[in-house]
Amino acid sequence: MTRYFTDEHEWIDVDGTTATVGITAYAQEQLGDIVFVEVPAAGASVSKGGEAAVVESVKAASDVYAPVTGTVTEGNAALGDDPSLVNSDPEGAGWFFKLTLADAGELDGLMDEAGYKAFVAGL
Amino acid sequence: MRYLPLTPADRQAMLATIGATSIDDLFADVPAEARLSGPIAGLPGHASEMAVERHFSALARKNMAASHHPFFLGAGAYKHHVPATVDHIIQRGEFLTAYTPYQPEIAQGTLQMLFEFQTQVARLFGCDVANASMYDGSTACYEAISMAGRVTKRKKAILSSGLHPHYVSVAKTMAHFTGDTLDTAIPALDGTDMARLLDTVDGETACVVVQYPDILGRVEDLAPLAAKCHEAGSLLVAVVTEPVALGHIKSPGEMGADIVVGEGQSLGVGLQFGGPYVGLFACKEKFVRQMPGRLCGQTVDASGKRGFVLTLSTREQHIRREKATSNICTNAGLCALAFSIHMTLLGEKGLRSMAELNHTGAVDAAQRLAQVPGVLLATPTFFNEFTLVLSKAARPIVRALAEKGVLGGVSLGRLYPGEATLENGLIVAVTEVVTPDDIETLATALEEVLA
Amino acid sequence: MMQLNQSGWKPEMGANDDGAAGTFTGNRALMLEEPLIFEIGGSETTGVDFTVRPELVEGLSSSSGSSDPEGQGFDKLNPNGILGNLLRTAPIGLPGLSEPETIRHYTRLSRQNYAIDLGLFPLGSCTMKHNPRLNEKVARMAGFGDVHPLQPRETVQGALAVIHELAHWLVTLTGMKAVAMSPKAGAHGELCGVLAIKAAIEAKGEDRPVILVPESAHGTNPATAAFAGFRVESIPATPEGRVDVEALKAKLGPDVAGVMITNPNTCGLFERELKTISDAVHAAGAYVYCDGANFNAIVGRVRPGDLGVDAMHINLHKTFSTPHGGGGPGSGPVVLSEALAPFAPLPFVEKRGDEFMLIEEETAGEHHASSFGRMAAFHGQMGMFTRALSYILSHGADGLRQVAEDAVLNANYILRSLEGVLDAPFAGSGPCMHEALFTDDGLAEGFSTLDIAKGLIDEGYHPMTVYFPLVVHGAMLVEPTETESKATLDQFIGALRSVANRARQGDPALKSAPHHAPRRRLDETLAARKPVLVWKDEGLAVAAE
């Protein structure tokens, strides 16, 4: 399994043609306490760079973009009851949705962990 | 000038601190050609309190005030007795001159009041939740249509012919720009258009909007319509312009309405020639994130005490900007307070007594007025407002009545100009302020002007 | 993700270091706790007595009588039939209080509020100025407060005269052609202006889907444009806090319907090049909307009409002192240029000879056929019109000019007295107008704008506007208005300097401020995660399960 990062502060774990998407620890720290998350339903099509999910803290709201094009297989239902998972475990239990990749080639432009760290350090 | 505390010496000292030589230095960024050199054309200099008051007194005397005459106007704004306590409390500076409760630690008065208001409105309307108020009933109505579109992702709304014509006008204005489709109709004196609504609602319909009681005063069971809407995946939006009615008849929420909006002017807020009023907005809990407007919610403070804050703000324009549920940026805070105080004074017992008085008074008036030659009652059901059909066009009759010192109602000619089938209609509202003598005066005057 | 958290606003609770001994009541002397009406009221209690009619006292319902005696279509023997068989049977759940309990409930609540009557309320861009009490008296005159909006026009000539007179002064003060009086608040006025622009473009048979909005704009601007069906494109600010004119010009094209500009802007600065912008916008076939929220800084000194503005709303509470009332009601008349005036909404008041006419749907066709329609029931916020006109007549031409001058003087006095302890990003670009902007730059690690705001509460002030505008991090926007004395400002400056220094030095006590308010910091996260929006009787809820 390989983990990639976007400059929009999403992470994506890829295992063959399936992938899991969430927002980074840095993003949740910037947003503050997450109070609401809206994830896409299974079957939804998302396209790279398009709006896929919504994350809200008390005083900020943000659209989460799909890092790659694909078909959603599962939204994280646990976030509906407990959005704080995004704060406590953003890159684990606080994942947003899983999808089937349409084009693995889209991963090429994404960063690895070291690259993202350097990107954040430069912000 | 009595409102400006700075003295000439203060101004000089402050300019010195700033490092400016004159006030003009502070306006340096204003291009010279945009600066006004002289005083505003035609506007006299500052005036004493007494002079200004005189000016207004003279203008006020040119109006016929509701309290000074037998008064029967309704059609979306009602004259009720507002207890003296209400106006006293809303003039307390801590309510009158506070801003939006952005700093909850020092705004618990406004916030707790809003929480109480939201609960009162939700209960009165038979809904789960209510917001902290909208501008007025008409704008709350289009916001409800707009919200139903967001919930259902559909673009068509069906409006009952019994919806207040100004509310229909407002919805039309908005629909023209948002690209929504509205299905509307003109009311008929011989019955409501419930059959049309039941027939038309379909899988494309975002919502059906129905007024209760309707513009002519009629009341009708909404439960079958709610069921039909839900079958089609549409929402039922009910509009209440006379909330006092709900002290005596079932609430729209009880009958299955999904969103209930209304005009709260009737309680606590005077007639004020049309504004400011207070829009009421309530809905089922599952739609709360699609609701427009401010919401107050309960929480705790750092020492564990109960407190209140504005919440779910991410729906609103100051955070969501172009993706907000509405561009609304205020509520009708002080009018909501007036509504809430009046409702607290009344309580369930008082509201029910008041509603019953309104209804029995209206029944008496309808019976008496229907005895006037040339007058027929057109509305077999009503709460405190009914429609008469006169033997002549009602609009000149209303003017003739006013000349006799009687404010006798709202003519359908005024509300639906050019609609020949409606021109003889007169809407008469009877609240607790109307006395038996007033009814007799109206009946006599009506007999004279119709003769 | 779109924007992580542009303003940097993150609510923080702070520690519970409330060590003071508790009291039996929870009260602290004059700081009185007050339960909810649902906890103290009863369904059988009422604070209103109704005059019972004699026939009811005798036990004879007035609804009794023979069935349909005159053949008038309803059956008095079946009162529920007249109600469509919808007589309420279920309880509503509305608690009542007697009059003394009511007075005490709301009086106690009122004392938990800060208000302009209590002290300085320096909310930038919100403009909390003194509310003259003459205005309240005038608005309550029976001839204005107790007239119905649908009375025949002959019976409301004085009320129509007030609307006409206020309209005249708003047009004159702004140098515009016409004014739409019916919008119910500033944001409603924005909608009015944007719809007028859209109607004008439709009338020309054009399709222009874009509205340009500077990034320093208030959130209502993009929200309004989006509601009206426009796509919003953002214009950056220059390093000195003004609209980037070149960037704006680069975006102008046949797809642009208009530009929404706030002037003076939300950084407290006058947009020097507004006329240049207007000329460019007009040359591109588009219109200029000006957010007039800050008109109070220039009233009597600058007429927006001279700067090429096509539409501008005026928040009557900000410039003309109508009360905020804890969040409304507002009133947002919109002045319009010659180009947009034909599209103004209905209704409006017109003077014909000696008579004031109300132009509504019925007669609009005669000479106002291009109107885009009605925005609200009835004729606008009359209760605010009387107050605003009272303010204008009280000040007169000399007073209004002085209002703008003193507002600007007070704001610059604050800016220069605080720039040593707070970062003032645009102080170098010259004087400010009616408000001074600061940022959180230079505070100790872990300290924020929020901490300064909460510290000011303990000093007895309402905090300034925080985290707005979004163009700087941790914004603090201070607007004193013209109705504050120098002594008041000096004390406020002392307090804010003290709190700012504590934040720079990292005083831990500031993190848990306020300590002396009716409530400590409130848990906004809890409120949003588990919304409790109405009171629920815990006992009942348990019983129902």
Helix B49-60 and helix C157-174: axis angle, to 10°?
Answer: 130
Residues of chain A contacting residue C7, judged by C-beta atoms under 8 Å apart: 59-60
Q: Which long-range contacts (CB under 8 A, 24 or more apart) does B31-39 make?
A: B31/C272, B31/C275, B33/C275, B33/C306, B34/C275, B34/C302, B34/C303, B34/C306, B34/C307, B35/C301, B35/C302, B36/C300, B36/C301, B36/C302, B36/C303, B39/C300, B39/C397, B39/C398, B39/C401
Say what the pLDDT of residue C149 is.
Answer: 98
C-beta atoms of C3 and A62 within 8 A: yes
Contacts of A57 in chain B (CB under 8 A): 314
What are residue A81's phi and psi, to 5 degrees? -85, -35
Question: Does A118 contact B at CB distance below 8 Å?
Answer: no
Helices then strands, each counted (H, E), chain C: 19, 12
Residues of A in contact with C528 (CB under 8 A): 35-36, 56, 58
pLDDT of residue B325: 74
Contacts with A58 from chain B: Cβ below 8 Å? 313-314
Query: Which residue of A6, A35, A82, A87 to mutate against C (max C Cβ within 10 Å)?
Result: A35
Residue C362: the pLDDT is 83
Interface size between B and C, measured as CB pairs under 8 A? 735
To which residue do tokens 């979306």 refer?
B76
**How confident is residue C542, by pLDDT bands cut at 50, 70 and 90?**
very low
Residue C54 has pLDDT above 80, yes or no: no
Establish whether the linkage from the previous residue to B70 is cis, with ω within 30° of 0: no
pLDDT confidence tier of residue C37, bands split at 50, 70 and 90: very high
Higher pLDDT, C51 or C454: C454
The gap from C-alpha C415 to its chain's centroid, in whole angstroms, comes to 25
Residues of A in contact with B289 (CB under 8 A): 36
- Closest approach of A108 to chain B, Cα-based (Å): 32
Q: Is B318 on the interface with A (CB under 8 A)?
A: no
Q: In chain A, what residues touch C10 (CB-CB under 8 Å)?
A: 31-33, 57-59
Specify the range with the lowest mean pLDDT, choosing from C360-369, C391-400, C428-437: C360-369
Band of pLDDT at residue C65, cut at 50, 70 and 90: very low
Shortest distance, CA A87 to any CA of chain C (angstroms): 12
Nearest to C525 among A30, A35, A60 (CB): A35
Query: Taking a C-beta distance cutoff of 8 angstroms, is the pair A85, A93 a contact?
Result: yes
Mean pLDDT on C333-338: 97
Residues of chain C found within 8 Å of residue B64, distances taken between Cβ atoms: 147, 151, 155-156
Q: Which residues pair with A37 in a beta bridge?
A: A55
Q: What confidence category does residue C539 fall into, taking pLDDT thresholds of 50, 70 and 90?
A: low
Q: How far is CA A103 from CA A19, A43, A45, A99, A109, in A?
A: 12, 17, 13, 12, 12
Nearest to A31 among C4, C467, C528 (CB): C4
Beta bridge mates, B156:
B181, B205
Q: Helix H segments across C284-381?
A: 316-320, 361-367
Is the pLDDT score of B89 beyond 80?
Answer: yes
Indicate the pLDDT class of residue C61, thresholds 50, 70 and 90.
very low
What type of residue is C529?
R
Q: What is the ipTM of this complex?
A: 0.97
Band the pLDDT of C18: cuts 50, 70, 90: low
Question: Best residue in C13, C57, C151 to probe B by mutation, most B CBs within 10 Å?
Answer: C151
Enumerate the residues of chain A whose CB falls inside 8 A of the CB of residue C466. Answer: none
Residue of chain B with shortest Cα separation from C382:
B275
Strand ranges across the sheet with C287-291: C178-180, C334-336, C311-313, C287-291, C256-262, C210-214, C231-235
Q: Is A65 on the interface with C (CB under 8 A)?
A: yes
**Distance between CA atoms of B220 and B210, rounded to whole angstroms?**
10
Q: Are C175 and C193 in contact (CB under 8 A)?
A: no
pLDDT digits (tens, 9 = 90+) for C479-530: 999 999 999 999 999 999 999 999 999 999 999 999 999 999 999 999 999 9
> Given this model, what pLDDT does residue C363 score?
84
CB contact under 8 A, C529 and A31: no
Work out the pLDDT band at B319, boundaries 50, 70, 90. Answer: low
Both tokens of residue B52? 């200004």
User: Which residues are CB-contacts of C189 (< 8 A; sequence separation ≥ 6)?
Assistant: C180, C183, C313, C314, C315, C332, C333, C334
Does residue C541 carry a pLDDT above 50?
A: no
pLDDT for C543: 40
To the nearest whole Å, the CA of C76 is away from the closest chain B CA by: 8
CB atoms within 10 A of CB C460: 16
Q: φ and ψ at A10, to 5 degrees?
A: -105, 155
Residue A37 contacts C, CB cutoff 8 Å: no
Residues C294 and C314: their CA atoms lie apart, in Å, by: 8
Distance CA A69, CA A71 (A): 7
Distance CA(C8)–CA(C4), nearest Å, equals: 9
Tell me whether residues C9 and A60 touch, CB distance under 8 A: yes
Taking 80 as the threshold, does the pLDDT of residue C4 lie above it?
no
B289 touches chain A (CB under 8 A): yes
Chain C contact present for A84, CB below 8 A: yes
Which of B289, B319, B323 is nearest residue A59 as measured by Cβ atoms? B319
Pairing of strands C256-262, C210-214: parallel
Q: Locate the chain A residue with the closest alpha carbon to C531.
A: A35
How many contacts, defined by CB atoms under 8 Å, are there between A and C? 60
8 Å CB contact of B52 and C161: no
Q: Chain A closest CA to C157's CA: distance in Å?
A: 48
CB–CB contact C18 B302 (8 Å): yes
Decide: helix, strand or coil at residue C141. Answer: coil
The answer to whether C333 and C181 are in contact (CB under 8 A) is yes
- Using CB atoms, which residue from A32, A33, A63 is nearest to C2? A63
Taking the C-alpha atoms of residue C230 and residue C222, their distance in angstroms, rounded to an integer, is: 9
On the question of pLDDT at C364 being above 90, the answer is no
For a pLDDT cut of 90, what percent of chain B falls above it?
92
- C interface residues, A as partner, C-beta within 8 Å: 1-7, 9-11, 467, 524-525, 528-529
Note the pLDDT of residue C6.
75
Report which residue type is found at A88: S
Lowest mean pLDDT among A78-82, B316-320, C117-121, C404-408: B316-320
Q: Among candidates B434, B70, B431, B97, which has minimal Cα distance to B267?
A: B431
Average pLDDT over residues B126-148: 97
Q: Is B263 helix (H, G, I), strand (E, B) or coil?
A: strand
Q: What is the pLDDT of residues B342-377, one digit of tens each?
A: 999 999 999 999 999 999 999 999 999 999 999 999
Report the pLDDT value the prediction gives residue C75, as an integer from 0 to 100: 61
φ, ψ for residue C211 (rounded to 5)? -120, 135
CA distance B229 to B251: 17
- Averaged pLDDT for residues B182-186: 97
Q: Which residues in chain C have their CB less than 8 angstroms from residue B75's CB? A: 150
Which pTM value belongs to this model?
Answer: 0.95
Which residues in chain C have Cβ-Cβ distances shorter than 8 Å to B428?
none
Look at residue C115 and tell me whether its pLDDT is greater than 50.
yes
Rg (CA), chain C: 27
Would you state the pLDDT for residue B71? 98
pLDDT confidence band for B327 (50 / 70 / 90): confident
Cα Rg for chain A, rounded, in angstroms? 13
CA–CA distance, B104 with B115 (Å, rounded to integer): 13
Contact B235, C111 (CB under 8 A): no
**CA B112, B113, B117: angle at the middle one, nearest 5?**
120
Asked if the Cβ–Cβ distance from A64 to C1 is below 8 Å, we say yes
Q: Which two tokens stand for residue C404?
A: 């703008």
Residue of C nearest to B53 (CA): C138
Give pLDDT, residue C81. 86
> Between the CA atoms of B78, B83, B85 and B89, what dihedral angle is there, to the nearest 10 degrees?
0
Chain B hits for C454, Cβ within 8 Å: 105
Residue A110 in contact with partner chain C when CB distance is under 8 A:
no
Does A35 contact C at CB distance below 8 Å? yes
User: Which segment, A26-35, C18-27, C30-39, C218-227, is predicted with the most confidence on average?
Assistant: C30-39
Residue C17 confidence (pLDDT): 61
Of B325, B170, B327, B141, which Cα lies nearest the Cα of C187?
B327
Contact: B323, A61; criterion CB under 8 Å: yes
Query: Least CB-CB distance to C184: which of B13, B42, B275?
Result: B275
Helix (H) or strand (E) run with residue B108 in it: helix B108-125
Distances (CA, A) of C476 to B48, C155, C455, C469, C483: 37, 50, 13, 8, 21
Cβ contact (<8 Å) for C188 and B139? yes
Please count the other Cβ atoms lying within 10 Å of the Cβ belonging to residue B191: 14
Q: What is the mean pLDDT of residues A95-115?
A: 92
* Chain A interface, best mutation among B289, B309, B314, by max A CB count within 10 A: B314
Please tell me which chains touch C, using 3 or more CB pairs under 8 Å as the contact test: A, B
Q: ∠C16-C22-C24 over CA atoms, to 5°?
A: 140
> pLDDT of B267-315, one tens digit each?
999 999 999 999 999 999 999 989 999 999 999 999 999 999 999 888 7
Instruction: List, in sequence order, every residue forming a beta bridge with A72; answer none if it has no partner.
Output: A99
Whole-angstrom distance, CA of residue C436 vs CA of residue C266 = 9
Residue C442: predicted pLDDT: 96
| Contacting residues of C for A58, CB less than 8 Å apart | 10-11, 524-525, 528
